């Protein structure tokens, strides 16, 4: 199936999520580095605010070498984790203030990640790495 958005053509398997409900906004994802959602496309401008990639989001120079924070489908920063015996500490560096509701959604995403790795998650916002 082919769809056009903003003058660009996008392709998907026939019937793939057609008519599926969109997640509530703000929708936050913690993506691992090299995640297919981001690197699978040659043109990644759909993930960048104003179509331009941020200069630097995390400790690594290449944007896709960092774990990415997406808010409503746009790159909003980077994250990293530290595993401890019963805890996973998640540090997030945001490129812009996403607002209070997005921060709550980020808390929920961190908790979801903690359940995935089987540990209690703590979230901390950092300004620098």
pLDDT profile of the chain (129 residues), mean per 10: 79 67 84 86 78 70 83 90 96 88 95 97 89
| Residue 59, helix vs strand vs coil | coil
User: What is the reported pTM?
Assistant: 0.80
pLDDT digits (tens, 9 = 90+) for 13-32: 776 666 666 777 899 999 99
Tokens of 126: 């950092």
Structure token digits, residue 38:
């981001």
Ranges of each domain in the chain:
25-125
Q: Are strands 74-83 and 67-71 parallel, antiparallel or unpaired?
A: antiparallel
pLDDT in tens, 43-59: 777 787 766 666 667 77
Which two structure tokens, joined as six digits, stand for 106?
A: 């980020």
**Residues in a beta bridge with 98:** none
């Amino acid at each position: 199936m082919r769809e056009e958005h903003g003058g660009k053509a996008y392709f998907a398997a026939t019937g793939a999520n057609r008519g599926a409900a969109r997640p509530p906004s703000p929708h936050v994802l913690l993506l691992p580095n090299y995640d297919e959602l981001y690197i699978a496309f040659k043109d990644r401008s759909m993930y960048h605010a104003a179509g331009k990639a941020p200069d630097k989001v995390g400790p690594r120079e290449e944007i896709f070498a960092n774990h990415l924070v997406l808010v409503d489908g746009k790159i909003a920063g980077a994250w990293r984790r530290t595993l401890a015996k019963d805890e996973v500490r998640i540090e997030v560096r945001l490129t812009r203030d996403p607002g209070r509701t997005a921060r709550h959604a980020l808390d929920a995403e961190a908790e979801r990640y903690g359940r995935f790795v089987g540990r209690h998650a703590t979230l901390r916002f950092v300004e620098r790495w």
